Amino acid sequence: MNIAYLGPPGTYSEQAASFYLNWVKGNQEFKGEVILRPYPTIAKALQAVTVQEVNLAVVPVENSIEGSVSMTMDNLWQLENLQIKQALVLPINHCLISCATKLEDIEMVYSHPQALAQCQGWLGKFLPQANLSPTSSTTQALEQLGKSPTTAAISSEKAAQMYDLPILSDRINDYPDNCTRFWVVAPESGEGSSSSSSTHTSLAFSVPANIPGALVKVLQVFADLGINLSRIESRPTKRSLGEYLFFLDIEAGILSPLMTTALKNISINVEILKIFGSYTVLTVLVD
């Protein structure tokens, strides 16, 4: 089994992938070799699933501070034959990693845009002199830190240990209960088929026209059936300014009678309906 994740090694995505792998081994009879394969972007990790280069991809979808990861959402809509088979919630504790001797010496801080945003209050207070530089992941810049004592990166404690780099300050995220939700994505025809134990469903849809009540007609179906929506978000269709797709996370399995009724009723009010999958949610336990 090959599992794709946003690399290089040491990212939070790799931690989530490792947790999922251990969970699978502990709950299923799986004796084959498993390879965790890093990819430079979320898009390439998901594309690797569609072309059967890997069996699964573990990708971030939402952070409790900064909200949704648009690259994941956009690619799930654009790519075909992908299905969510599991959700993972990973606690996120950011560290400032640097070979500098004190904070005042740091001139540049590197990290993924989400990590920089999750620490913006701390950075403004303790590193007001530093410039911020976005990277494709939280570990991309770590190999270069030893060459410049005026640079730093925001990443995890495990990443600092992996790259043998010192931590100047830990738990620097602005909110202590910071966490990120990941999706385990598989080919639609693979193992990711829905089961009666699924507790959540994710889908997206477009409406036929931008007219009053177009969105309400869909949402009212879930309200009338007493089905709770844990997330609703719009994303541009990329066809025309002012046209949007709507993404829903629903607290019900797709095989439940209520969801069967809901999907039947909303189908008459949408232009395109794409069901990403039905799954359970696991909370990752961190040492």
Q: What are the pLDDT digits (tens) for 43-73?
A: 999 999 999 999 999 999 999 988 999 999 9
Provide the pLDDT for residue 192. 42
In CATH, what number is assigned to the domain containing residue 234? 3.30.70.260
Residues 87, 16 share a domain: yes
Is 70 found in the same domain as 125? Answer: no
Q: Where residue 78 sits, what CATH number does that domain have? A: 3.40.190.10
- Domain identity same for 49 and 83: yes
- Phi (first) and psi of residue 41, to 5 degrees: -140, 160
Instruction: For residue 25, give its domain range.
Output: 1-92+178-189
On whether both 13 and 72 belong to a single domain, the answer is: yes
Q: Does some domain include residue 286? A: no
Residue 82: inside a domain: yes
Q: How many domains does the chain have?
A: 3
Q: Are residues 114 and 199 in the same domain?
A: no
Is the model's pTM score more than 0.85? Answer: yes
Asked if 3 and 69 sit in the same domain, the reply is yes
What distance in Å separates the CA atoms of residue 9 and residue 27, rounded to the nearest whole number?
25
The answer to whether position 273 is within a domain reads: yes
Q: pLDDT tens for residues 219-246?
A: 999 999 999 999 999 999 888 888 899 9
Shared domain check, 78 and 202:
no
Claim to verify: residue 217 and residue 259 sit in the same structural domain:
yes
Query: 59 and 15 in one domain?
Result: yes
Kindly state whether residues 140 and 183 are assigned to the same domain. no
Within-domain flag for 287: no
